Homo-oligomer: A and B are copies of this chain.
Amino acid sequence: MRFGEKIKSLREQSGLFQREIAAELKIDTPMYSKIESGTRKAKRQHVLQLVKFFRLKEEELMSIWLADQIIDLLKEEKYGQSGLLIAGKDLYPSNNVWQ
C-alpha cells in the first residue's frame, strides 16, 4: 500500500474530511488531495504530524513514506532490484536477506 492510500484509509476510518486533515497540516485542501492521490509528496514534517494525529507508531507511517520514495526512484528502472539489494547490503549488512 502506497502512502497516499494509507492516509486516505486512515482518514476514512476516522470519518474525517480532507479539509480537516489539511488544516491540521496547515496546507490547503487541493494540496492534501494531491498527497492522497500520490501526485505530490508529503514532507517529513507532515508525516510526523499525521503520526501524532492518528496516534500511530512512527515506524508505521515513516516506513511507508520512505518506501514510496524508493518506489518512485526505481519503478521505471530495469535494474532496480539489484540496486535495492546492494543498498540493503551496504546499509544493513547484519541482515543477511540481501545475500
User: Which residues of A approach B to under 8 Å, CB–CB?
Assistant: 2, 58-59, 62-71, 73-75, 77-88, 90-92, 95, 97-99
Task: Say whether A67 contacts B86, CB under 8 Å.
Answer: yes
Task: Say whether B97 contacts A80, CB under 8 Å.
Answer: no
Task: Say whether B95 contacts A83, CB under 8 Å.
Answer: no
A58 to B82 Cα, complex, angstroms? 12
- A61 to chain B minimum Cβ distance, whole angstroms, is 9
Given A74-B87, A91-B71, A79 contacting B62 (CB threshold 8 A): yes
Task: Say whether B80 contacts A59, CB under 8 Å.
Answer: no
Write the chain B residue with the least CB distance to A81.
B92
Write the chain B residue with the least CB distance to A63.
B82
